[in-house]
Amino acid sequence: MQLPPGLTITADGPVRIVLIDRPGELNAVNADLHRALAEVWRHLAADTEARAVVLTGAGRAFSAGGDLNWITSFLDDPVARDESIREGAQIIEELLRFPLPVIAAVNGGAVGLGASIAVLCDVVLMSEKAYLADPHVAVGLVAGDGGAAFWPLLTPILRTREFLYTGDRIDAATAVQVGLASRVVAPDALLDEALALARRLAAQPVEALRGTKRVVNMYLSQALGGPMQAGFAAEVVSMQSAEHRERLLALRDRAR
């Protein structure tokens, strides 16, 4: 299977390294990368030699979230907007169903969808230089692609509210403290530690590990059913608001 541009897969024995690969754009998610993130999990699940996955970003970011030019196109293209919502739901559902352990090696900023994908991994290793953030509200959007739905399952709700309402950055140590990451790793050691853990998990009895992951993720899947649907529906409504249009265009103009 040929994946769309923006995502590459390399093999290290039974470990597959999935690289979000738009370093010049801080790995911001455009249409091609969004589609790749939706399709890659079934591709990897069909790899009979794979036993574990490491997910990381090229360059200095994990993922800066949605590409501003792509997101801005939704203002006048409801077909593309609705397709992005469908794919967003697919990304989350496929990650939750994926049978192999996935280790996020968060090497830099993980923002918006980037944060959602990182936190949905089985183990989240964060560089001391990395951070999480979900700034949807700041640009007039409901945090519908994961944050509002599943962060409250992992963190104290009072902390979750503050982070989601403000969009403030969550540094690596705080992410571990509140339950959004597993542990902090020195930047130079991040990928090595992620690979070492992936190799260790790859050597575990296959069916026992897969069955354990499936049971654990049942809790997330059951708890997310209603909130995820409500979150995406609310995000679509907020995408059509005048305030979102104004804030998004201003943000794009500042970024140019």
Over the stretch 122-161, which tens digit does the pLDDT of each residue have?
999 999 999 999 999 999 999 877 788 889 888 989 988 9
> Domains in the chain, please, with CATH?
7-189 (3.90.226.10)
What pTM did the predictor assign?
A: 0.95
pLDDT of 95 > 70? The answer is yes
CA distance to 19, 51, 99, 131, 210, per residue, from 207 (Å) = 26, 11, 10, 34, 5
Burial class (CB in 10 A: 0-12, 13-18, 19+), 158: exposed
Residue for token pair 């049942």: 218
Q: What is the mean pLDDT of residues 97-105?
A: 97
* CA atoms of 145 and 115, how far apart (whole Å): 10
Over the stretch 209-221, which tens digit does the pLDDT of each residue have?
999 999 999 888 8
H, E, C per residue of 133-187? ECCCHHHCCCCCCCHHHHHHHHCCHHHHHHHHHHCCCEEHHHHHHHCCCCEEECH
* CA atoms of 69 and 174, how far apart (whole Å): 31
Over the stretch 159-182, which tens digit does the pLDDT of each residue have?
889 999 999 999 999 999 999 999
Burial class (CB in 10 A: 0-12, 13-18, 19+), 43: middle
Over the stretch 201-245, which tens digit does the pLDDT of each residue have?
999 999 999 999 999 998 888 877 788 888 889 999 999 999 999
Q: What is the mean pLDDT of residues 100-112?
A: 98
